[in-house]
Amino acid sequence: MLGSGTSISPVITNMHNQSARSFDGSDQDVNIDGIIAQVAAAVRADETEFSISLWCKLSASIGASVTLFKCRNSGSTNNQITLLYHASGNEFRFSPKFGGVNDVCNGGSTNASGASYEGDGIWHHIVGTVSADNDTNELWIDGVKKESITGVGTLNEVTNDVSLCQNGEDATYFDGDLKDVAIYGRQLTDSEISVIYNSKGASGDKGLDLASGSHVSNAGLIAHFRFEEKSGTVAINEVGVRTEGSELVTNGDFANGTTGWSTETGWEIVNGIASYDGSSGTQSIGQTGVVDAGKTYKLTLDVVSNEGSGANTIYLGGIVVSTIHLEADSHTFFVTTSSTASLAIFGRSGENFSIDNVSVKEYTTTDGFYVNAPAITTNIP
């Protein structure tokens, strides 16, 4: 380890140009069953080397403890690692429990400004690490090492379950905003934690791509969820080489009017913008033969304006991509199609819905994988 990390770092009040996902504390989590084997390889008897790094902002009022991350043996409570916010103690806690021996690293009940974490409106960087080599369990908050406990226990059961934003038993769901979750099969160093924290500082807002290895080594990186998807039901694990194919949509910027597009009543294309005036119920604009069955595609839709409150349904390749109200913004969806079918974007009655760019590209990964998440309809950029 490289130094004590005891200095007080600046409070992070915003993260410009950084997408996040909002969780409402009811039944929303991220299904990360796909990385159980990799986590189990890192969290094992006498050889555990593990880190989790994430950014979160808590909701204003949390009535009970909420879980950010948990890996465990589902048959008992004797072998697990938990990262949570403990409501009654008003503190983050990181708790490796191996062979029934629990090492609880406490984060303290107030943030760097001396206020409660709940509803402070501040993004906090949380890191938990376990290292059998260094014989330590550690919790870091906002660049400060809050507690380091010597002595890493020995697992006597195999890790067979991993959860993000709940406790693995469909309970203690996280309530707040989350982004840049990175899980490693090694202990992050003090200097690496400092780099990650300070990259999101108020001056610069660099927004590291942790999977690139350009600032913090991506050695041992198991998962990296950036939550760049503005909406939809898929969270992409950014580990692996990502490849985007060529553009599949004809005239996606509408520069040449209706070329390639089938439009229903109420839709028109003027000055490179396609708009629906909301006068004729639910009507669509779309293209046929865009995608093939069983492949994954990246769909980007740039919304200029959307006056009204109705949901905008989008279909691609036989899949319902979105059924939410799309605000003026760029929205990205990752879709694994079920059939060779059309792209259709629907405007609703009473809305003035305008878009100026649509992109569909085949999206593949090497040594990476897709992880399905539930429908989460509120997002904080």
- Tens of pLDDT along 317-365? 888 888 878 889 888 888 888 888 899 999 988 889 999 999 999 988 7
DSSP E strands, 124-174: 124-131, 136-141, 144-150, 161-164
378 or 103: whose pLDDT is higher? 103
Are the CB atoms for 12 and 358 separated by under 8 Å?
A: no
Q: Which comes out higher in pLDDT, residue 318 or 163?
A: 163
Distance from C-alpha of 151 to C-alpha of 346, rounded to nearest angstrom:
58
Residues with Cβ within 8 Å of residue 201, at least 6 apart in sequence: 10, 12
Q: Given a cut of 50, is residue 8 above it in pLDDT? A: no
Q: What is the pLDDT of residue 366?
A: 72
pLDDT at 241 over 80: no
Name the architecture of domain 21-227.
Sandwich (2.60)
Mean pLDDT for the chain overall: 86
pLDDT for the residue 231: 66
Listed in sequence order, the residues at least 6 apart from 19 whose beta carbon sits closer than 8 Å to its beta carbon are: 179, 226, 227, 228, 229, 230, 379, 380, 381
Question: Per mean pLDDT, which range of 48-52, 142-146, 185-189, 341-345 is the poorest?
Answer: 341-345
Q: Where in the chain is the domain with CATH 2.60.120.200?
A: 21-227
- Homologous superfamily of 245-363: Galactose-binding domain-like (2.60.120.260)
In the chain, list all ranges with CATH 2.60.120.260. Answer: 245-363
Q: Which residue has the higher pLDDT, 277 or 61?
A: 277
Alpha-carbon distance 123 to 56, whole Å? Answer: 6
Tell me the two tokens of residue 54.
């994430």
